[in-house]
Homo-oligomer: A and B are copies of this chain.
Amino acid sequence: MANTEDTIAVRISKELADRIISGSIEPGSRLRQDHVAEEFGTSHVPVREAFRRLEAQGLAISEPRRGVRVAAFDLGEVREVAEMRAALEVLALRHAAPHLTPAILDEAEEATKAGDKSRDVRSWEEANRTFHRLILAPCNMPRLLSTIDDLHAASARFLFAAWRSEWETRTDQDHRAILSALRQGNTESAAATLGRHVQWIGQKPVKTASGKTRDAFAIVG
């Protein structure tokens, strides 16, 4: 999937983003340009450019002369991202609604079913993101959509951090309610449900390294 027409810097940033989101690189850990460069068999110049992209997406933070590290996050940031998504996805849906076709809504329903059948977080997340993208894309607002995309990446990171291995299949009633409202042309009701849906924050006890359990939080919509 990594398009060979992409520049090396883009390929590296995509790969690193994927690792950060999936949690295979720990929050707070340092990203060393020479190590990354060696791994990808390149010089460090494209690596530095990849770091700037990650920084812009909020996945890494860089301090001058002290390097780049994977962004840490806490409950506050989970909430912040949830609220931003609620505000922006509602906005996007209001503009997308007039352009939604039955075909798109059918596709979105397929995505919902795929999500309900998912037996692991990763495929659930993918189905969920597909659903949201399908119903929002027709708003035709590129800047808004790309901001929402970055927020989805952050959401996925929170989700994987909390539900890394265990995942319970669950059926998504919100998605169905949104689709049904959209089919009836009731945009406001769909938007209201979407806003609530995205702000719902799941909670789950998780074992820490020291053997204790603490609560982990994630956006589950």
A residues within 8 Å of B by Cβ?
5-7, 9-10, 45, 48-49, 52-53, 55-56, 58, 64-65, 77, 80-81, 83-84, 87-88, 90-91, 95, 141-144, 147
Question: Is the CB–CB distance between A143 and B58 below 8 Å?
Answer: yes
Whether A5 contacts B64 in the complex (CB less than 8 A), given A56-B56, A77-B143, comes out as yes
A77-B147 Cα distance, complex, nearest whole Å: 14
Question: B residues within 8 A CB of A144?
Answer: 80, 83-84
Residue of B nearest to A10 (CB): B64
23 examples of A-B residue contacts, CB within 8 angstroms: A5-B64, A7-B65, A9-B52, A48-B49, A52-B52, A52-B56, A53-B56, A55-B56, A58-B143, A77-B143, A80-B141, A80-B142, A80-B143, A81-B143, A83-B91, A83-B141, A83-B144, A84-B91, A84-B147, A87-B88, A87-B90, A87-B91, A147-B147
Question: B residues within 8 A CB of A87?
Answer: 87-88, 90-91
